[in-house]
Amino acid sequence: MPAIAAPLPIIRPITDLRTQLNDVCTQATDTQEPVVLTKNGVASYVLMDSDAYEATERRNRVYLALREAEIEEQYRPEAVSAEESDAKMREIFALWGLDYAPASKER
């Protein structure tokens, strides 16, 4: 059994939208959970309070940004010192037949 159990989903028949619309909307607002609407016993639609939806979307955007940062960190090359960078630039300029003079020694 997981440490944190997810709450059971709120399930209602889609006909409740026609007969008890205010009740369905109030339930979605009060619980801040999605209401699953079924058609012939099969989940067909999800009704969700707009504040809950925005919070979920915000949480998803933050999660995706963090996940992207984790992936970038895995593939980011190691930092290069100024001396290593200057040495590499000298090699490149030498291939071109040019002299390389760093702009400034102050760093």
Confidence check: pLDDT of 2 > 60: no
Residue span of the structural domain in which 63 resides: 10-96
Q: Which residue has the higher pLDDT, 40 or 102?
A: 40
* In-domain check, residue 30: yes
Q: Which residue has the higher pLDDT, 59 or 103?
A: 59
Query: For the segment 31-83, what is each residue's pLDDT rounded down to a tens digit?
Result: 999 999 999 999 999 999 999 999 999 999 999 999 998 898 888 777 778 88
Q: What are the angstrom distances between the C-alpha of 68 and each of 23, 25, 60? A: 40, 36, 12
* In-domain check, residue 107: no
| pLDDT at position 104 | 63
Q: For the domain that residue 58 is a member of, what is the CATH number?
A: 3.40.1620.10
pTM tops 0.75: no
pLDDT, average across residues 12-24: 95
* In-domain check, residue 106: no
Number of domains in the chain: 1
Query: For the segment 80-95, what is each residue's pLDDT rounded down to a tens digit?
Result: 788 888 898 889 888 8
| pLDDT at position 20 | 96
* In-domain check, residue 4: no
| pLDDT at position 99 | 83
* In-domain check, residue 50: yes
* In-domain check, residue 87: yes
In this structure, which long-range contacts are made by residues 51-54, counting pairs with CB atoms below 8 Å and at least 24 apart in sequence? 52/28
* In-domain check, residue 102: no
